[in-house]
Structure 1
């Protein structure tokens, strides 16, 4: 079943665009009266706020809409799980879904309207997979779309529908709880940032507005320009704060060391040269670089990766030497600092690699726990490891944007097509995964495929459930990074408030003279 990838990209919701522009326009026009009295300047400042603040409010509305979709998907899975436990078929449950959820979600719910359309499609004998395809396209909820991808195949392969729906609902409920828990931990910082963004308008109302009547007097020609600047900065600070708050915590596309950072060259051995360099570095630093490159490709590609690593190292070294010569001849730095400039660029390459590795680990924390839970859930539903792995990869491929992880999964999929067993493919995924907990769970899945012990399946389910702690840590780290970004608009707001507070003193000083 092919699901359009474009559905997960943010598309313009005209109703939300209109609402955001109306709110931004009213707010910008009202607050411009705090800093400006001239109508033309107020219109100009309002236009600036209409664009910038309108975009920020739209992002907040879209972020809230995504949360609502997740909650509605949880309600749908709860209903389907209860119906399956009562012995109803999937089609029978879907026929009654719109009426059953209408009271909980309301008539205006988009999901209820789409379920009513799905009912008509089922009654018209439309293929269930095609109907699910349209539902996933129109609703655009990645988590629900993953289930819509799996359900037709689960029925085709004879899996236990009631077990899958029950556990899928439980996992989604747990995921929503984890997100709410982590968000509550950062709610205080978010509230402080919003209050700081509104503080400029409050100070302007109490300190700046009383001097607007003096704008036309001699010596006060600077007040209108100051008002435009203060209002523009206040709008920018508030908009930046809202955009950061609404920022998605899902991993972005991460560059792969082997495919993006490294280039092709002649196939010669550079591992000895790299070993000499790494021996000169601290042991922990050398271990991290070696471990990173060894997991960046296949055994055939690693030699090529080391080659490009040394090529770039030599290039950076020459850049450092050239800069050192320039600084030495111009006497811009003391002689004892010249060696620092020589090694700066080569070390910068390693630091860039390690920084990218941390970003990739963050993507693993946010993508692999859901993937592992889907894999264990399908195996618990009675599917073999090969079929469960195929469906899990297909679901994650349609719902995730982390290219590095999708590449690993695609390589595992291709290895199965080339003749490898599912256990071998899962072991290859475990070898590439930098998270030991996830790697251990994948190896447990491979052992279960070979031995078929129910104890191993129970252990796999326990390890998959423990993966939510990794997911929670990934969310917490992501929100901590977002909180650090909030210091930028908060700092600008503080400077703006100080400048507004100084304005009465400057005006009083001019009046005294």
Structure 2
């Protein structure tokens, strides 16, 4: 069954890639007539566009498909939530889901086809959990996979299915709205980048093509060669622009950002050295470094990380001294700048650490709010903190953007299985979290597990809902970075347009002489 599924997915991806290359090839062939007129030159230029632009168009198709999947998952959750509120069981709702969503999504929708297959599996007495997991794997939507993973366990543990489905649909609707809102804020820059990418072809029609017909007669036969260069460069700029636009706002399968690996340096005692160094630094700077390293692991790991930190600091200081002596001997720098070279490398190490901390915060802004919302949803559905934490970790692993926090979540899971309480595990997560709002919500969950107050559960839900503002800020930062990347192809497009405008003028000057 798995091999068959892989073959179907590969066939579907191949058809998409083939269509993308077809669109790119047609576009490249017709636009190549603007610049080079020779058939051989056009074939070379169109072949480059077939590969480069085809890949970019394929990425755009994939990005659009991910958005459609999220919207279809929202429609399915809305239907299941309404049926659960009316008193229908999960199996009954899933049996009727394909027919109910067929009118909204259309008969060709992949989700409708998978729901039809799910109906057949339920009627043939297939286990519901395995059928839902198969649907989630085939549909390849991380957000829907999260819910399909939780629903069988929620029924098994006696949770409130209607509460979970209602709140899950509300949160998914909110998530789609947040992404649409943030994307609309940057739509102007995206449109400008696309226009700049197409502007080269428009300038080629108005300023360049009219000189090609008389190129051989007038004596400037180098013009067709310049034309193929302009076309290849224009296709390259448009491809880069589309690749940046199609890039996912929420990074997928991020790796965990770790500052140091414990236990890889000589076991020497650098406690006094580190204390002396931090006293020399400004108070706020040393506080940030101390807090950053203390969050990197347990007490034993932190001591080893401090040893490695100071060991590298000494190595960088030694390299700085050697560099300063070399500059002093060669006279490349004034004497009063030599001390700057001594402390430059050690300070560069600290600045690198602080930069990694900012990257970790950005990763946490996109990873923790979905996890916190799933945790609060399960607790509101009537599950205990321990069961809710286990299910949240199991489900959130389906989401690629949650990978930066999976190391901490796995550590908390191991501590529970080793005999610790869920409240202790959640508090350890709160201590390691770089975002104070998320830490406060996690501590509230731990207090609710111990005290059981309904006010604490309400407060937890409010804090989890406020986490979407953190998520929105994270998305906004990602789009700002993407907008900065768009300046690269826009600048190249401007240079290309200027060159296309200048070349006919140079040809006219050559003709005049």
Q: TM range, normalised to the smaller chain?
A: over 0.9
Measured after TM superposition, the shift of residue 399 of structure 1 is 2.0
Q: Does 1:253 align with 2:254?
A: yes
Q: Distance in 2 between matches of 1:280 and 1:271?
A: 15
Q: Distance in 1 between matches of 2:494 and 2:336?
A: 40
Q: Distance in 2 between matches of 1:263 and 1:352?
A: 20
Contact 1:200 1:493 in 2 (8 A): yes
- Per the alignment, residue 16 of structure 1 pairs with 16
Q: Distance in 1 between matches of 2:250 and 2:11?
A: 17
Contact 1:254 1:402 in 2 (8 A): no
Q: 1:276 to 1:456 in 2, by over 3 A?
A: same
Q: Distance in 2 between matches of 1:342 and 1:231?
A: 50
Measured after TM superposition, the shift of residue 405 of structure 1 is 0.5
Contact 2:256 2:407 in 1 (8 A): no
> What's the TM-score once normalised by structure 2's chain length?
0.95
> What's the TM-score once normalised by structure 1's chain length?
0.95
Measured after TM superposition, the shift of residue 349 of structure 1 is 1.3
Q: Distance in 2 between matches of 1:496 and 1:10?
A: 38
Measured after TM superposition, the shift of residue 370 of structure 1 is 0.8
- Per the alignment, residue 473 of structure 2 pairs with 473
Q: Distance in 2 between matches of 1:233 and 1:376?
A: 52
Deviations 1:220-266 (A, max 9, x none): 24323321221111111111111111111223524432555x66123
Matches within 5 A, 1:202-351: 202-217=202-217, 219-251=219-251, 252-258=253-259, 260=261, 264-351=264-351
Paired residue secondary structure (1:231): helix
- Per the alignment, residue 457 of structure 1 pairs with 457
- Per the alignment, residue 124 of structure 1 pairs with 124
Contact 2:98 2:113 in 1 (8 A): yes
Between stretches 27-36 and 103-112, larger displacement belongs to 27-36
Q: Distance in 1 between matches of 2:421 and 2:11?
A: 40
Deviations 1:419-476 (A, max 9, x none): 1100000000000001010000000000000000001000100111111100000000
Paired residue secondary structure (2:30): helix
Paired residue secondary structure (1:96): helix
Aligned-residue RMSD, C-alpha: 1.9
Q: Distance in 2 between matches of 1:36 and 1:461?
A: 63
- Per the alignment, residue 200 of structure 2 pairs with 200
- Per the alignment, residue 367 of structure 1 pairs with 367
Q: Distance in 2 between matches of 1:214 and 1:312?
A: 67
Q: 1:72 to 1:270 in 2, by over 3 A?
A: same
Q: 1:263 to 1:188 in 2, by over 3 A?
A: farther
Deviations 1:161-196 (A, max 9, x none): 011001000000000000000000000111111111
Q: Does 1:32 align with 2:32?
A: yes
Between stretches 139-148 and 206-215, larger displacement belongs to 206-215
Measured after TM superposition, the shift of residue 271 of structure 1 is 2.9
Measured after TM superposition, the shift of residue 401 of structure 1 is 4.7
Q: Distance in 2 between matches of 1:12 and 1:250?
A: 24
Deviations 1:109-162 (A, max 9, x none): 000000000000000000001101110110000000000000000000000001
Contact 2:254 2:400 in 1 (8 A): no
Q: Please list every run of 5 or more consecutive structure 2 residues that lacks an aligned counterpart in the other structure.
A: none
Q: 1:326 to 1:221 in 2, by over 3 A?
A: farther
Between stretches 471-480 and 229-238, larger displacement belongs to 229-238
Contact 1:271 1:306 in 2 (8 A): yes
Q: Distance in 2 between matches of 1:213 and 1:311?
A: 70
Contact 2:249 2:475 in 1 (8 A): yes
Q: Distance in 2 between matches of 1:133 and 1:254?
A: 25
Paired residue secondary structure (1:13): helix
Deviations 1:18-38 (A, max 9, x none): 221111001111111111111
Matches within 5 A, 1:353-502: 353-502=353-502
Q: Distance in 1 between matches of 2:403 and 2:23?
A: 37
- Per the alignment, residue 507 of structure 2 pairs with 507
Deviations 1:347-386 (A, max 9, x none): 2211211111111111110111111111010000000000
Measured after TM superposition, the shift of residue 47 of structure 1 is 0.8
Q: 1:308 to 1:219 in 2, by over 3 A?
A: farther
Paired residue secondary structure (1:398): coil
Measured after TM superposition, the shift of residue 11 of structure 1 is 9.7
Contact 1:269 1:303 in 2 (8 A): no
Q: Distance in 2 between matches of 1:316 and 1:463?
A: 44
- Per the alignment, residue 105 of structure 2 pairs with 105
Measured after TM superposition, the shift of residue 346 of structure 1 is 1.5
Q: Please list every run of 5 or more consecutive structure 1 residues that lacks an aligned counterpart in the other structure.
A: none
Contact 2:441 2:464 in 1 (8 A): yes
Provide the aligned length of Structure 1 versus Structure 2: 507
- Per the alignment, residue 169 of structure 2 pairs with 169
Measured after TM superposition, the shift of residue 12 of structure 1 is 6.9
Between stretches 308-317 and 397-406, larger displacement belongs to 397-406
Paired residue secondary structure (2:33): helix
Between stretches 438-447 and 494-503, larger displacement belongs to 494-503
Measured after TM superposition, the shift of residue 319 of structure 1 is 2.4
Paired residue secondary structure (1:429): helix
Q: Distance in 2 between matches of 1:49 and 1:389?
A: 50
Q: Distance in 2 between matches of 1:480 and 1:11?
A: 36
Paired residue secondary structure (1:216): helix
